[in-house]
């Protein structure tokens, strides 16, 4: 077991209230696993082996339709936990998980984690809070897919990324799209062709400039207005 297991456990919200001694005890039940980019941790319908914690890298949680279309439900980074629900309800994994980049995770078996929660009920309460927050996020995804267009969802992502990492200059607000158009389509619940088509339209309308993965917002006010009025 590598030396940074305990620091990873300490930075996970589920375990932030535990003492150093309790963290050391939990670390004895942890298995570390490494996954390369694109590698599957588990598939929807697989039997639940336990609770996962991200030590480094990023994991995407997603579902596939019968036709193969992918919908990203969440992206989890260092300190995040996932697969809490099937650990307790006895069901299979309700979605699939794969590595977005080279990733290392910690795995606590279902039996060990249930036993730990029996002795540390405050951890069980944290699990309820985490699962509740995830449910709220999923409700938000359902609302977006049901009541907004691909154009609106695309603009929302562009505005969010610009706020997070955009650099303002005379040319506009510039940022780099770090995901592929296919990954972006999966997040938006659509196909890559529609993402490309809508980016092209926004550029033709003078709202954006697209140079490979670099995007320049030319008219922020109009783009925000389009987010609310696109049909």
CB 159, CB 227: distance < 8 Å: yes
List the domain boundaries for the chain.
5-146, 148-229
Tokens of 226: 């389009």
What distances in angstroms separate CA 15 from CA 19, 20, 150, one per listed residue?
9, 10, 38
Pick the CATH number of 5-146 from 3.90.1300.10, 3.40.50.2300, 3.30.420.40, 2.60.120.10: 2.60.120.10
Percent of the chain with pLDDT over 70: 98
Beta carbons within 8 Å of 186's beta carbon, 6+ residues apart: 62, 70, 71, 72
**For residue 142, pLDDT beyond 80:** yes
The reported pLDDT for the residue numbered 215 is: 92
The reported pLDDT for the residue numbered 196 is: 92
State the pLDDT confidence band at 27, using cuts at 50, 70 and 90: very high
CB 30, CB 74: distance < 8 Å: no
pLDDT of 145-203, one tens digit each?
888 899 999 999 999 999 989 899 888 899 998 888 888 988 888 889 999 999 999 99
pLDDT of 71-110, one tens digit each?
889 899 998 999 988 998 888 999 999 999 999 999 999 9
The residue-averaged pLDDT of 117-139 equals 85
**For residue 230, pLDDT beyond 60:** no
pLDDT of 112-127, one tens digit each?
999 988 888 888 888 8
Give the SS3 label for residue 156: helix
The reported pLDDT for the residue numbered 2 is: 45
The reported pLDDT for the residue numbered 147 is: 82
Mean pLDDT (the chain, rounded): 89
Distance CA 99, CA 10 (A): 22
- End-to-end CA gap in the chain: 54
Architecture of the domain made up of 148-229:
Orthogonal Bundle (1.10)
Percent of the chain with pLDDT over 90: 45
**For residue 10, pLDDT beyond 70:** yes
**For residue 64, pLDDT beyond 60:** yes
The reported pLDDT for the residue numbered 3 is: 60
Tokens of 75: 């992206």
The reported pLDDT for the residue numbered 62 is: 93
Q: Give the DSSP H or E segment for 99.
A: strand 96-99
Matching CATH topology for 5-146 and 148-229? no
């Amino acid at each position: 077991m590598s030396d940074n297991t305990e620091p990873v456990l300490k930075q996970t919200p589920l375990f932030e209230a535990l003492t150093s001694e309790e963290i050391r005890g939990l670390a004895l039940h942890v298995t570390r696993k490494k996954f390369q980019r694109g590698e599957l941790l588990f598939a929807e319908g697989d039997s639940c082996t336990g609770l996962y914690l991200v030590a480094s890298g990023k994991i995407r949680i997603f579902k596939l339709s019968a036709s193969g279309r992918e919908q990203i439900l969440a992206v989890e980074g260092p300190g995040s936990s996932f697969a809490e629900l099937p650990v307790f309800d006895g069901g299979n994994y309700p979605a699939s998980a794969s590595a977005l980049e080279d990733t290392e995770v910690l795995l606590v078996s279902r039996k060990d984690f249930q036993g730990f929660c029996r002795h540390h009920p405050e951890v069980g309460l944290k699990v309820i809070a985490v699962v509740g927050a995830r449910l709220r996020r999923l409700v938000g995804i359902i609302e977006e897919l049901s009541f907004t267009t691909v154009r609106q969802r695309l603009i929302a992502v562009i505005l969010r990324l610009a706020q997070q990492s955009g650099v303002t200059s005379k040319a506009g607000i510039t940022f780099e799209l770090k995901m592929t158009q296919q990954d972006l389509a999966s997040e938006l619940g659509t196909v890559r062709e529609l993402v490309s088509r809508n980016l092209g339209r926004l550029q033709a309308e003078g709202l954006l400039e697209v140079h490979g993965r670099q995007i320049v917002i030319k008219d922020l006010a109009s783009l925000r207005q389009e987010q609310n009025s696109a049909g």
